[in-house]
Amino acid sequence: MVLNQIFYRVAFIVTAFVHLYFNDLIKATIVVAAMCLSDSKRPVLQSILRLHSVVLVCFMLAFCFSVVSAHPDQTILNGRDVLMWFDDVETPHGFGQLAAGYHGFTFNYLYAFKPTHQDLEGTISGDDLNCAISKPNALYGSKVAAETPSIHAHDPSRTFTVHSLKIKPLDFPVGFVTINLRGFLLENLSSPLEWTVDYPAGFHDTLHVRLEEFSKTRWKGLTRLEVEADFHYNNVEMDDWEFCIDDLEIEIE
C-alpha cells in the first residue's frame, strides 16, 4: 500500500511537470492536486490516467487563451506578418514618440496617442475615443509643414507588404474628408498604388481597410506607405486633416 502511494505521487509530479514545462500553468497544480489526490483508494493506473487527462485539458485551455488573448504591442500572425497595436508606447501627456526601428519600421509624423488620456480631455472629441480599437493607444497623424505622414522599413534595403489597417478621420461637423493611401513600389516610384475613401460629416467608426480586397491589388514590395486626410467644405479645402490608425497588419519582406 505504501509503495503504491509513493508510486502514485511520483507519477503525479512527473506527469504534471512534463505539461507545466511546456506551458506556464503553475497555478493549475493546486486544482489538479485537489482533484487527483483526493481519493487514495482509487487504483493507481486509473488515477494516473485521470491526472493526465485533467492536466492535458488545462494545458489546451491555456494554449488557446494564449493564442487569442491581447498582447500589449503586437501579434505575430504568420512569419514576419505583424499586427501592431501600439499599446506598448508610453504616452505621458497623451502622445508618445515611436522609436526609430519600432518593430522594424520608421514612422514619420505618426505618433502613438491615448484618446482617453486626461490631458486630451476637451481636445479629443468623445466621438474619437473609438480610435483605439485595442485599448489604450492608436496612431495619430496629420501633415506637418506639407510633410505627409508615412511608414517605411527601418532597413532601407527592405520592402514590405501592407495587408490591412483600421482608420478614420478625427471628428468634423460639416463637409467631408477624403483619406488617401499611397504605396510606393521600389521598381516604380513615380506610379504609386493608390486607394481613397470619403467620410461624410459626423460620427464614424473606424473602417477596417483590407487593402488587397478593397483595391484589387496586393500592396507588396513597398518602400513607403503614405497616409493623408483632406478636408472639403464648399470652396474650403484643407490637406492636413487629422486621422487615426490602429491594428496595422504589415509584413517586412
Per-residue pLDDT tens over the stretch 85-134: 999 999 999 999 999 999 999 999 999 999 999 999 999 999 999 999 99
Looking at residue 149, its amino acid is: P
Measured CA to CA, the distance from residue 30 to residue 113 in angstroms comes to 41
Return the pLDDT at 22: 47
- Mean per-residue pLDDT over the chain, rounded: 82
- Give the model's confidence band at 80: pLDDT under 50 very low, under 70 low, under 90 confident, else very high: confident
End-to-end CA distance of the chain: give it in Å, rounded. 63
Angle at 82 between CA 81 and CA 88, to 5 degrees: 165
Residue ranges covered by each domain of the chain: 2-68, 74-252
Return the pLDDT at 29: 54
Q: What 3 state SS string does 5-19 have? A: HHHHHHHHHHHHHHH
Average pLDDT over residues 3-29: 51
Angle at 73 between CA 182 and CA 26, to 5 degrees: 155
Q: Which residues contact 190 (CB under 8 A, 6 or more apart)?
A: none
Q: Which secondary-structure segment (H or E) carries 54?
A: helix 44-68
The hierarchical CATH code for the domain 74-252 is 2.60.120
Looking at per-residue pLDDT, the higher value among 149 and 72 belongs to 149
Return the pLDDT at 75: 58
Return the pLDDT at 6: 54
Per-residue pLDDT tens over the stretch 196-214: 999 999 889 999 999 999 9
Length of the chain equals: 253
Q: What pTM, to 2 d.p., does this model score?
A: 0.70
